[in-house]
Structure 1
């Protein structure tokens, strides 16, 4: 089965990824079943997202669930802690006014063990040892129909896209049964799956999904920068090139499941370099809420261990602490660069020079290219270029020297 060709609008898509239960301060233990804030309270943040340069909101789970959202009890109801379907409709309308797309998180590998239909829809096994999560029976036609119905239901109510949670744990053949019927009614829907390890192109091709999460690149970005081993990043980008032959990966430097980038890098100095890579290589980029403000947060393997990386946000952007403003401005600059060069969505990387702490590459489209130079240590890096687009470099003729610890994005040299 050939990979599905993603909708044309995705070439220009840049997402802000939000975990609503955390963002809105809901009780994720499930003890308190109502919240003082609802999905409607995301609306004051939409102008902030638009000013950042992004044009999509990727929402974590919003359906009725037992605790953290990934233990669904009812796919057809908005979680009572997040309000009502009227609140969702208001959010959709506000997004439409601003030209913002909406992605929903579909938890279709498992359901809450106390889901009303758990006995008839599940295998009888728990998911990854979690007793409160019952695995859905993906060989059952009833489960195929359920997932189709859920996806179509919310696409009809304004969603543009689905993230398929734990898609790595679901047979690709299941998605190949589900998705044709969904696309028959909503041909412009974008479907992305959470896949951590494995043969990404084969999974995309056999499932019919548009894309999967690029965890290989995520890991190489933070560990290559942290460990001063840009060979790891360069290797991952060469593999990334091969993925682009089949599909455009969902790219990111943070999400709701991983330690914050600023914590992984133990400070702010290398955060710009990570963002430069994200915005100058092929992919559909997503910014995890708070990363644009250099938030920190450590994920821990314990009860409540995700709380630090899924924080509550204030009621309005003006209430954010000022110390993250520099990172927000840098995001605006580099997202602006990305939007001016939409061909970067499918750009391949050609290595120009490489050492442990310096890396220069050319991002190449069909008829366009940009030069990217990174220094993460004590050595400068020199590249040939035409015009400095952003970053910091000293020009001498057509040579640009990037000082230690700096970066630059340039047009290619003339001729």
Structure 2
């Protein structure tokens, strides 16, 4: 009885901590809608190609390097990354590295000390602290932003680690979508990085030093940053625009009730809905949490595919042929209601067509989930799904 009382008390304190933290941090949850820009965009789907380009741009830096990642590992490719940052800092380039405290948990103190001794400025984003420890612990900075000399930017789904270049045998080929931005849009990535850095370190950045004049590019796009708020409405707005087709790619599919209803409504008006998720799972329960949603979608005529040639980690949505979303947000409740995310909405038909072609190639490496397969799930799988449904808001 005493143990039960202790457990209930702890859960009540965690719940109170979360709700009070949410109440006192409402202002921080406002989204930032940057203006529509024109930039030149490069589209990467392979980690080896991305990091070859990424490291080459870092090597060319002469003034500053600003980097934010959710996850940075300490493996082989990560060591190349750290050595490069230390080298640039020793050359006199201002290097700031920001990583999420939970996503990069266990970062060796020896490594942090080595980075700082070389001149790299290091900080944790969303480091939990009192008051509202559990509230802060559950909210992650999931953005992946890099800005080099204020002229070149990167954003998308890749983090830093061996699995992202296909070197982890547990995952095999890693499929992700990432953007390189050259042009007007870089200033918005820079603005967001500065805000996140200042929030994490409580120190200001002298802005005028990091915002060079930028020329317009050829692709129209818009960056939007969210902090556990408004992403749900953005997804619904996107879905309701569709007249022919919606394609969603995400490693995790746990939509809110409102987003789910928007998808079902789209199907009812004759819009083709295609959903691409991984066959493998990289976290406990997240794969199973999607299956209750799949049943209703399959019954309504949606096409659901499971990528089997490695792991599918891309975060994308394509609406007809006119616009697409590539960014850091997954199609799940954590991205909608908890995490800090940043997405790039692209309004350029030729670019959208390139993204659709990439998705078609990934669909060719996927198996289609049918109602018959769904109904043949084992009792063990169904049990995991029931538990996953309870935990879905925090997965």
Mark yes or no: TM-score above 0.5: no
Higher helix share: 2
Normalised by the size of structure 2, how large is the TM-score?
A: 0.27
Q: Which has the higher contact order (CA 8 A, sep 6+)?
A: 2
Normalised by the size of structure 1, how large is the TM-score?
A: 0.26
